[in-house]
Amino acid sequence: MNTSSSAVRTKSNAERKAIRAERFQLLRRNKAFLVGAFILSFWLLIAVFGSMIAPYPYDAMDFMAVSKKPSGTYWFGTNKLGQDVFSRVLAGTQLIVWMSFLATALGTIVGGTLGLAAGYFKGWFDIILMRILEAISAIPVLIVALLAIAALDGQSSGITVGVIGFVFAPNIARTVRAAVLSEAELEYVAAARLRAERTPHILFKEILPNVLPPIIVEFTVRLGYAIFAIATLSFLGAGVEAGSPNWGSQISENWAYIFSNIWWPTLFPAIAIASLAVSVNLISDGLLEVFEV
Amino acid sequence: MSTIPSLELRNLQVQYTVRGIEKDVLRGVSFSIAPGEAYGLVGESGCGKSTAAFAAMRYLPRNGKISGGQILFEGNDMTAMSADEVSNLRKSAISMVYQNPIAALNPTVRIGKQVAEVFELSGESESVAMKHAYEALARVQIADVESVMRRYPHQLSGGMAQRVVIAMALATNPRLLVMDEPTTGLDATVEAEVLELVRQLRRETGTAVLFISHNLGVIRHMCDRVGVLYAGSLVEEGSTEEIFNNPSHPYTVGLLRCIPRGGLHKNTDRLDTILGTPPALGAKFDGCVYVDRCALVEERCRTTKPEAVSIGTGHAASCFNYAQAQSMPRAVDAVQVNVSQDQNRKTTGTRLLNIDHLSKAFTQEGRTVQVVNDVSLSVGVGETLGLVGESGAGKTTIAKLILGLTGSDSGSQVVLDGKNLAATLRKRDISDVGAMQIVFQNPDQALNRRHSVTRIVSRAVQKLRGLNGTESDDRAHELLSGMRVEASLHSARPTQLSGGLKQRVAISRAFAGSPQLVVCDEPTSALDVSVQATILNLLVDLQKQDGTSFIFISHDLGVVRYISDKIAVLYLGRVVEFGDSNQVFGGPHHPYTEALLSSVPNIDGTVRKRIPLTGSVPSPSNPPNGCVLNPRCPRMAGSGVEGLCTTVEPELKEVEPGHFMRCHIPLDQLRVTQQK
């Protein structure tokens, strides 16, 4: 029996490293991803350390300095209450970053689980579940959110996170289901069944790791939507605790004064929203190219 | 005949740029094809066969480039031509037929229109082009041309689609036809028809053919001369007769020795193999490219490149020791080692698995499709049952029904070791689940690419043996080492392993629960012949050690004959013949078996008369009345029982001891007609 193990080949260590390095390099060379990652890390830093660098407390009012133009003292100017716009933009970061992340994570977990089950079981379960999810996703996000918030009388960020997560779940479920449909046909799933694995193990330990790339991409896409949805809701005065320094409310409180040429309390939070949303979208574009999903 | 060759490659060098590094793929390949000649290129995967074919059309992937040498088409250097000139040549003089015919056709365009487009390209009006398309399709022996012209590609069978592709390739009356694995993936009987067609068209048109195949039998039947490629070098070249009867390069000799030829059987013979694997793309060699695997390697082979030595007329091999090639030592012992013969003898004869009246019908678009129809079989302890038949015969479905992956219809019985098993896995005991396992065809899909090798095997040990933690890991490593998967690879992911290694991991997993029966569903058909030989040897060793029974599914009749004790031949979900391996292969055969056997291109070069099956496999949703084979049966006409054949379905009956057949024609009559 001298059919030695040299009868078989592996990719050399160097080659293995090269493949991993290549994927990393692709990301590093991907301009969209780089710019997005740079902006997002900037906002994450602000979310964590913003309160430390803010020159003033976000709610401190200085009636001697109402509606001041941006200057050395007030970098982004002050609003009609004499509050420092720069400090308020910094203070609003944490809330929107957290809320959008949690809402998307919730939607991904719920939708991902439903999608896994639908793609794996197929048949009636799949048909009924997908019709229900389609019905949910047919209603515009904002309408559902406003209705839910009104019905639950919830001016709380917790309820908003829940509602957005719920509304996002169908889209994520559909993406995951499509990936699982082809994956479940592969023979490693049959092999798992042939050692009497339980269904949750097959779904989460066998199939899930193989459908992660599309889930990650879908997560980043949804994150962008979540940022916009939360900003819009708070602009409409719903979904967040009153008085909290969030970007949407800052815009809604100040936009009317644009016509009096007081543009700065509106412009800076608007730029913040736009740059955060764009950064997330750039990241998802980059991932999409590298994962080729 | 002119003396200018149709195609001549002169010292052709091709490089692929992979991650910024230029890697040699063809290292100075030279050969020429005379007008009207068929030239075959053989070699294992990754040796540059397809690259040579694409280079002959100057059609390389974007990262490929011709870095030296010349491609002369009828004496004109294609490497010096402009893109337009090359494109004109492709339009008028050179055509190519690819491996996957369905993928080569545009799925949204009807066949007639698609074939006509080739003619329209050369400036014909639509109506004239359609007329010519009709003629082109008729030329490739498509029976009902008008209906085929109205169909879309997905409505054609694989064989029919390949005929269409060949018709398109021949539409312009090319002077050179490049065929890259044109019959790989087609069933044996369809393959035989397509090959027959190509041979006939060659006689009619005198087209030169460059024929690429990994199947040596096909090459032997199709080609006048053969070139053996290894690591991008032509190591041997000669007439087909010379290459097969007087191989003179150690690689050619090794390739031929790997193949389970007629007559070899696991009980008496071990297959030889070629140690090692082909070098990685772009490996550098000072001397001979084959040094790492050669049994005759010497010091000078490592330092000096051997020149091609002329051995006979037109026969040359690039080897210093070509004279010893045929007597080179085997890589593995020729004699089968019988590990526990006594134990085997005790247990053989006892029936391990009995399947009775196994049936499965699927509902498809409201119609019932009887995929498996009343199949009864049995497998003895330590025995291999080979399942043979063309695609759609129900081989894989039968395996899934036995394993419980698919639930069988009521009335079906699967009895393992005296115990009646439930139809689905969910209702079976864990010990029964572990007792029957499977090795799939495609190890890429059968192993979870996100799990490490250890985890894949260890998990199976945990579930099927009830071991935990380090115990199961230890047992997994033991199993893997037993299958000769080195310890350094145990933490690797499947994607980092070669095909042969992956299949070893899959086999380790199947044996994790000490199974009594393992289904091998085409376990070697995705592998090169040298790897196939190693895997077959491994399976046989395991069987001899543990007395494991196998159900072995394969379309390769040579492999099935080598490894099987019993054979069941399936047609349209029915067993049409069942018996000992030598009964089924030796005959007298069931008419379908006879046709199947006769369609396999024989590597020994013995010319067999092909018994053609007319028409195509009927749909299982609408099987013919009487015997399901009757519309295609090669032996029905003149048998005197035609009336029975077309009205009554024959029973599977014992025609001689241990030999069962589903045929109305008496055995003696079959014996006489088949001996003619």
Could you tell me which residue, B376 or B495, shows the higher pLDDT?
Answer: B376
Average pLDDT over residues A172-177: 94
CA atoms within 13 Å, Cβ hemisphere of A165: 20
With a CB cutoff of 8 Å and minimum separation 6, the contacts of B124 are B132
- Predicted confidence at residue B617, as pLDDT, reads 78
Please report the number of interchain residue pairs, chain A to chain B, with beta-carbon separation below 8 angstroms. 110
What pLDDT, in 10s, does the model give residues B156-175? 888 888 889 999 998 888 99
- Predicted confidence at residue B357, as pLDDT, reads 94
Q: Which residue has the tokens 């290129």?
A: B41
What's the Cα-to-Cα distance from A228 to each of A86, A150, A156, A161, B338, rounded to whole Å?
Answer: 21, 20, 17, 13, 73
Flag if B273 and A7 touch (Cβ within 8 Å).
yes
Flag if A196 and B425 touch (Cβ within 8 Å).
yes
- Predicted confidence at residue B139, as pLDDT, reads 83
- HEC secondary structure over A31-43: HHHHHHHHHHHHH
Could you tell me which residue, B133 or B611, shows the higher pLDDT?
Answer: B133
With a CB cutoff of 8 Å and minimum separation 6, the contacts of B32 are B5, B7, B8, B9
- Predicted confidence at residue A45, as pLDDT, reads 93
B621 CB within 8 Å of a chain A CB:
no
> Picking from B421-430, B552-561, B606-615, which range would have the lowest pLDDT averaged per residue?
B606-615
pLDDT averaged over every residue in chain A: 85
Amino acid at B120: E
pTM over 0.80: yes
Residues of B (199-218) whose Cβ lies below 8 Å from A: none
Nearest one of B49, B61, B53 to B7, comparing CA atoms: B53
What phi, psi does B193 have (nearest 5°)? Answer: -65, -45
Q: Tokens in use for A172?
A: 């994520």
Share of chain B above pLDDT 70, in %: 97
Q: Which residue has the tokens 């010091």?
A: B299
Average pLDDT over residues A160-167: 89
Q: Mutate one of A8, A23, A206, A210 to test the B interface: name it (highest B CB count within 10 A).
A: A8
Residue B337 has pLDDT above 80, yes or no: no
With a CB cutoff of 8 Å and minimum separation 6, the contacts of A240 are A95, A99, A155, A156, A157, A160, A230, A233, A234, A246, A248, A249
Burial label for B108, CB within 10 Å (0-12, 13-18, 19+), is exposed
What's the Cα-to-Cα distance from B156 to each of B140, B181, B364, B555, B594, rounded to whole Å?
Answer: 15, 19, 19, 21, 26
Enter the DSSP assignment of B151: S
Residue B27: count other Cβ atoms within 10 Å of its Cβ. 21
CA atoms within 13 Å, Cβ hemisphere of B673: 18
Amino acid at B564: S
- Predicted confidence at residue B473, as pLDDT, reads 93
Residue A140: count other Cβ atoms within 10 Å of its Cβ. 10
Residue B78 has pLDDT above 50, yes or no: yes
Flag if B463 and A6 touch (Cβ within 8 Å).
no
Could you tell me which residue, B661 or A237, shows the higher pLDDT?
Answer: B661
Q: Distance (Å, rounded) from C-alpha B359 to C-alpha B414?
A: 11
What 3-state DSSP class applies to A222?
helix
Nearest one of B400, B344, B332 to B372, comparing CA atoms: B400
Residue A4 binned pLDDT confidence (cut-offs 50, 70, 90): very low
Residue A20 binned pLDDT confidence (cut-offs 50, 70, 90): low
Contacts of A15 in chain B (CB under 8 A): 280
What phi, psi does B360 have (nearest 5°)? Answer: -150, 125
Residue A26 binned pLDDT confidence (cut-offs 50, 70, 90): confident
Residue A95 has pLDDT above 60, yes or no: yes
Contacts of A16 in chain B (CB under 8 A): 496
Q: Distance (Å, rounded) from C-alpha B329 to C-alpha B480?
A: 28
Q: Check: CB of residue A46 under 8 Å from CB of residue B539.
A: no
Q: Distance (Å, rounded) from C-alpha B123 to C-alpha B117?
A: 10
What pLDDT, in 10s, does the model give residues B35-73? 989 999 998 888 888 899 888 888 888 888 899 999 999
- Predicted confidence at residue B163, as pLDDT, reads 87
- Predicted confidence at residue A292, as pLDDT, reads 65
In A122-140, alpha helices (H): 123-138
- Predicted confidence at residue B347, as pLDDT, reads 47
> Picking from A53-67, B155-169, B465-479, B588-602, which range would have the lowest pLDDT averaged per residue?
A53-67
What pLDDT, in 10s, does the model give residues A238-261? 777 777 788 888 888 888 888 888
Flag if A7 and B446 touch (Cβ within 8 Å).
no
What 3-state DSSP class applies to B662?
coil
Amino acid at B233: S
